[in-house]
Amino acid sequence: MKRPTKDTEESARRISRRAALLGGVQLTFAGVLLLRMRSLQLGQADEFRLLAEENRINIRLLPPSRGLILDRNGAVIAGNVQNYRIVLVREDAGEPRAALERLAQLIPLTPEEIERAEREILRHRPFVPVTIVDQLNWEEVARVAANAPALPGITPEVGLTRFYPFGAEFAHSVGYVGPVSERDLEARENPDPLLMIPRFQIGKIGVERELEENLRGSAGHRRIEVNAVGREMRELDRQEGDPGVNVQLTLDRQLQAFCLARLGEDSASAVVMDIPTGNILALASSPSFDANLFVRGISVADYAGLRDNDHRPMSNKTVQGAYPPGSTFKMVTALAAFEGGFATPDERIFCPGHIEISDRRFHCWNRGGHGRVNLVSALSESCDVFFYELAQRVGIERINAMATRLGLGERYDLPLSGVSSGLNPSREWKRERRGAEWVVGDTINASIGQGFVLTTPLQLAVMTARLASNRAIVPRLVHAIDDVEQPIADQPSLGLSPEALAQIRRGMWEVSNSNRGTAYSSRIVDAALRMAGKTGTSQVFSITTAEREAGIRRQDQLPWNRRDHALFVAFAPDTEPRYAVSIVVEHGGGGSSVAAPIARDIILAAQSGGLPPLEAYPAPQRNRIESMIRTISDQIGPPAEPNPGRSRA
């Protein structure tokens, strides 16, 4: 059927309008596209040209200088020194073995070092610089630089490396740095890109490790032009990074050096604390080691010597060593009894030399007995039976609580490696860890610091500071970070009975000032410097029946590692306590004969701010003491100068 003319015309008009609309949209889109293309090609041409250039520009990180570590007086105890090194680029040097043999004609390289360097070179791409040797002296570097035309691909460079001017004095507390290892990277969830720089050094132990984030600083960078295969062509610009911040510790270099020298070759430790602030003034662990050995790359022989030494020079005994405290623990038992109302200061207990408990005999160190003793005389003469009796009345729960109150069994938050919490045992602990019930014999042993009780030298110093002050002293090692002084922890009152504390302090005073005291021979005669202390001797092994039958009767007849530990704790001056000290000499024997004399010398050095004053000693001892002080003075020298020693690739 033929459509009417009118309908056909209307349809045509609609189609024309739609076509016009569609054409307009298309023209508009094309116009916008043309305008955008014009903007990109003309207005933003420079920007996109720069982006294209960036495709052949690499960013390389620049390691920052590491922050310094200083003692309380500002002496640098961990610093940075220039490090001269030799690097080799294989593509410029040619065959590695020939290049290394040419280099060996100028600086000493053994065949083993050449083989090791060659393996390192072949592990990397030809254009990557590989460090062959570092820690060179200026003469060696100058010799290589002067022969540069004959050594293509071999270049001397200069950087910074860590140096410890006092060598072994702070090795355990400050620690040391070393190259980043795979273990270091795995221990971090998102490693700092700095750690990927070849031979970059980070803290391995001690303050260097625990405050790594502060000391490391932030990287700088340089923009370099590289070719299609990534080879460096030229440096375009450079921006240095931010150096690590400086850290100031509370340690006193002079006192630290004296402590270490006084401990000598013994396997021993000493801790000195400033009671009002909790500042740790000395943390000495003997024997020590030169931290610089690890920075340079310690040799197999040197490391084996440290590892196999039975005196454990690599262990920080001040915080890692956990020892039975022996009689230095007796103040804990006494305070637990007095605070609980189970004894009075004037009460006297008869000591016949032993006590029978549950069909077992517990001996006093004085097999002949001490007779009737009160708290003061029991502490002064270190009577064991007195404290056996108190322990039966008090029980382990109160002894455990008092030990906690005095700071034992606590792991202190210090930037040191492997800080131990020791062991403050309880019924629950034995049930959970040993699968056995607590018995009265355990309490008897704990009352004199034997059995399961373990303490660190640091904890013993804290305990002594708390006894001297009746405040919850907390040890403090970091004085300032980036010149910002760190806060001193709150030191609330312990709330201990002043009357009981007075008796405890009186007993400690008589230990070293009464002619019946166990440390009377280590007394201080200057009234302004006198100390109050407590001896301790902790048993490691008993002399067996077979050994007694073989004639072994004394500790000095046993092998060294089976002898008793010697301990001593003290505070001074006795009237207004300022310093607390603890000494532990592993397998040293008696606390009165071995540890007490060391503590006296150290606490006198702390009070005098230098070497101990000779007039503070009893007159008959002064000739011997003068000789000892002279020897120690000779050992405490100025900071060491860097001694270049080669490290290997």
At CB < 8 A and 24+ separation, what contacts does 440-446 make?
A: 440/357, 440/358, 440/392, 441/357, 441/358, 441/360, 441/362, 442/396, 443/391, 443/392, 443/395, 443/396, 443/399, 444/357, 444/362, 444/388, 444/391, 444/392, 446/329, 446/391, 446/396, 446/399
592 noted as active-site residue: no
> Which residues, at least 6 apart from 603, have a Cβ–Cβ distance to it below 8 Å?
272, 531, 570, 572, 579, 581
The residue among 638, 639, 637, 631 whose CA lies nearest residue 264 is 631
Question: What does the DSSP assignment read for 178-222?
Answer: EE--HHHHHT-SS--GGGGSTT-EEE-SHHHHHTHHHHH-B-EEE
3-class SS string, 583-595 = EEECCCCCHHHHH
Active-site position among 269, 285, 288, 327: 327
Neighbour-count burial for 201-239, b at 16+ CB within 10 Å, e otherwise? bbbbbbbbbbbbebbbbebbbeebeeeeeeeeeeeeeee
Distance between first and last Cα of the chain: 100
101-127 exposure pattern, b = at least 16 Cβ within 10 A, e = fewer: ebbeebbebeeebbeebbebbeeeeee
Peptide bond into 149 cis (omega under 30): no
Q: Which residue has the tokens 């003068």?
A: 626
Q: Is 371 helix (H, G, I), strand (E, B) or coil?
A: strand
SS3 label, residue 356: strand
Separation of alpha carbons 132 and 102, rounded Å: 13
Q: Which residues of 516-542 are buried (b: 16+ CB within 10 A; e: fewer)?
A: ebbbbebbbeeeebbbbbbbbbbbeee
Contact of 162 with 63, CB cutoff 8 Å: no
CA distance 190 to 195: 11
Closest C-alpha to 99, from 132, 63, 146: 132
Q: Is 45 helix (H, G, I), strand (E, B) or coil?
A: helix
* 3 state SS of 268: strand
Active site residues: 327
